[in-house]
Structure 1
Amino acid sequence: MFVRTERLTLRRFTAADAEAFAAYRSDPDIARYQSWDAPLPLSKAVEKVEEFAQGDPAAPGWFQYAVDLNDVLIGDLGLNLDENLMQAELGFTLASAYQGRGYATEAVRGLLDNVFIERKLHRVSAECDARNTASARLLERVGFKQEGLRLSNSWFKGEWTDDLLFGLLRSDYLS
């Protein structure tokens, strides 16, 4: 399954992606608000890329899309499809060298077009650490509404963090 935007392709991971994947996921600034710790050894990146490559984007659970710019892996988008196949949770990561150029926004919009227009999902949600203002701004830019703030909700990397909750309905996205 491919999703194409003006500059990007969202595609299945391949074995050739492991080195680039390890590189950007080893960046401490990228890992700061994510569930993994930096650095990400190449051996673990190979395992994750193999796991991602076996995923089914139409099945419940997480599917990780490779964000490809001219045959270069620059990030990934995760979509956690609910058991009801009508709603999902979104996550995204972009290599720091490619940030600030609109690639993350373009990739997220491309995936949202796919899930709302082609797959007709009802709702997509997302959450982020309240300190991750860049992610919160991206979500708002593509149409998500902040639906909540959970104070001191997550014990994350040795500290309590606040979580911002976002949601986007198909009807709002298409209007």
Structure 2
Amino acid sequence: MLLETPRLHLRTFRPDDAPALSAYRSDSMIARYQGWTAPVSLESATSLVQEFADSDPRRPGWFQYAIELKADGCLIGDIGVHLHENRMQAELGFTLARDRQGHGYATEAVRAVLDDLFTRGLNRVSAECDARNVPSAQLLERVGFQIEGRRPAYTWIKGEWTDDLLFGLLADRWIQADVGGRAS
């Protein structure tokens, strides 16, 4: 396990995570604002899980945390962190199973990851989302991100142009405001 919160384990993916990953990433409502297309077959999920498991959160590039409920050991989502080559900044993205949304799990997990990143000395974490994805934008603001811009009709995805919202969070804001709530 890499990170722990009161209700969650944030850990490396394991082979037995493939069915759950396939299930929540196959939900068309979850995939709507994401870069993949639903459904995600079990075969594709198995490949993704292996790719995720082979990465390292302390090395530049993408790392995907598996979000697991402590109560029942169920995989409920994932958080991706792209650590920049300079190791001083990162990008963040997250996905949570629809039936697990609205309980504060994503907020708890994102706070834990941000706290870890800033504790490691990163200066900046960025995120972006489809402007129509209001719950994700609200979560980013709730944990301390500030909107830095909007790019109208910037991304062509799934047959349509979408506006992108750009967010940023600096280490000094995280520390001064204690917006992280220390992963609680």
Please tell me the TM-score bracket, short chain as reference.
Answer: over 0.9
Q: Look up the SS of the partner of 1:120 in the other structure.
A: coil
In structure 2, the residue matched to 1:79 is: 81
What is the CA–CA distance in structure 1 between the aligned matches of 2:87 and 2:76, rounded to whole Å? 28
State the Cα deviation string for residues 41-80 of structure 1 (Å, max 9, x = none): 0000000001100001111110000001021100000000
What is the CA–CA distance in structure 2 between the aligned matches of 1:63 and 1:35, rounded to whole Å? 16
TM-score by length of 1: 0.98
What amino acid does structure 2 have at the position aligned with 1:81? L
What amino acid does structure 2 have at the position aligned with 1:116? F
Runs (4+) off by over 3 Å: none
Shift of 1:120: 1.3
What is the CA–CA distance in structure 1 between the aligned matches of 2:59 and 2:2, rounded to whole Å? 16
What amino acid does structure 2 have at the position aligned with 1:156? I
In structure 2, the residue matched to 1:170 is: 171
What is the CA–CA distance in structure 1 between the aligned matches of 2:58 and 2:108, rounded to whole Å? 22
> Which of 99, 102, 115 pairs up with 2:101?
99
Q: Look up the SS of the partner of 2:7 in the other structure.
A: coil
How does 1:1-175 map onto structure 2 within 5 Å? 2-70=2-70, 71-117=73-119, 119-175=120-176
Q: Look up the SS of the partner of 1:48 in the other structure.
A: helix
Superposed CA RMSD in Å reads 0.6
What amino acid does structure 2 have at the position aligned with 1:76? D
What is the CA–CA distance in structure 2 between the aligned matches of 1:97 and 1:162, rounded to whole Å? 26
Give the percent of matched residue pairs that are identical in Structure 1 and Structure 2.
62
What is the CA–CA distance in structure 1 between the aligned matches of 2:26 and 2:157, rounded to whole Å? 18
Pairs aligned (count): 174
In structure 1, list runs of 5 or more residues that go unmatched: none
In structure 2, list runs of 5 or more residues that go unmatched: 177-184
